A = this chain, B = another copy of it.
């Protein structure tokens, strides 16, 4: 049976590269055929799986340079029943695309804000006077390229090949270990694995955050990540997103999560999952 995966499009985005790699994994390990469905935003990608329009969605959750993808965390908190099936760590190499004959001609560079941030030093070095203009995806940046040879875009090598556009330089990311973690999510229960992700709000009392964190400390469970996001009610009122090195199938972990429920206000458990290594894209 074919499985559909929603991702941020159009074709050529890093999210599509991640979706293709996950499709290969599903084909090799579960003998499943896959249909890719591009969406215009990360929020719409998650909405598609929440509505049952697609079986799966793949969304970026954090990058080693830019940090958390906050729209993913905020949307997951708002939706019900979305569970993480897998993590996928994708090495990311950005390319600089332009019809310009040399860097000196380039006056404007379009790309997704995360991609611009990941190439900041390169841009300051080679294009110090260029105006940087954010777009909603790295692929969307490419539509400006045909306007003029004074325009450039930061996108993927795959997008350059797909749309037959010239690469002036690559890789242009400042840090060679640039890597993005994606989550594959669906409405099915997660099947367990080495990592557990959850989020909670706390009662507005002194020490409210220390209590839940002590639950993990006492049980010897390692937090590999903590991220705070505003509840949007008032300053100082947060939702905490936490990744644990723990598997929800373990009895000890289940007991810990029961204790955690008592130490928090609202607790959402996004499931336990394994992380797949992505190939160089």
Contact = CB atoms under 8 A, between A and B. Distances in A.
Interface of A: 62-68, 70, 89, 113, 134, 175, 177, 179, 181, 206-207, 209-210, 213-214, 216-217, 220, 222-230, 232-238, 240, 245
Given A206-B245, A235-B89, A226 B225 contact: no
Contacts of A70: 67
Contacts of A213: 210, 213, 217
A226 B223 contact: no
Given A217-B213, A224-B236, A230 B67 contact: yes
Given A175-B232, A232-B175, A233-B64, A238 B225 contact: yes
11 contacts: A62-B230, A63-B230, A65-B232, A113-B134, A175-B232, A175-B233, A209-B222, A213-B217, A217-B217, A224-B236, A226-B240
B245 A223 contact: no
B209 A64 contact: no
Contact of A230 (B64, B113, B210, B220): B64
A177 B226 CA distance: 25
Contacts of A68: 228
Copies of chain A in the complex:
2
Contacts of A177: 233-234
B181 A235 contact: yes
A179 B235 contact: yes
Q: Could you say which of A67, A220, A234, A240 has the most chain B C-beta atoms within 10 Å of its C-beta?
A: A67
Given A214-B214, A227-B228, A64 B234 contact: yes
A254 to B, nearest CB: 20
A210 B213 CA distance: 8
B225 A67 contact: no
B235 A64 contact: yes
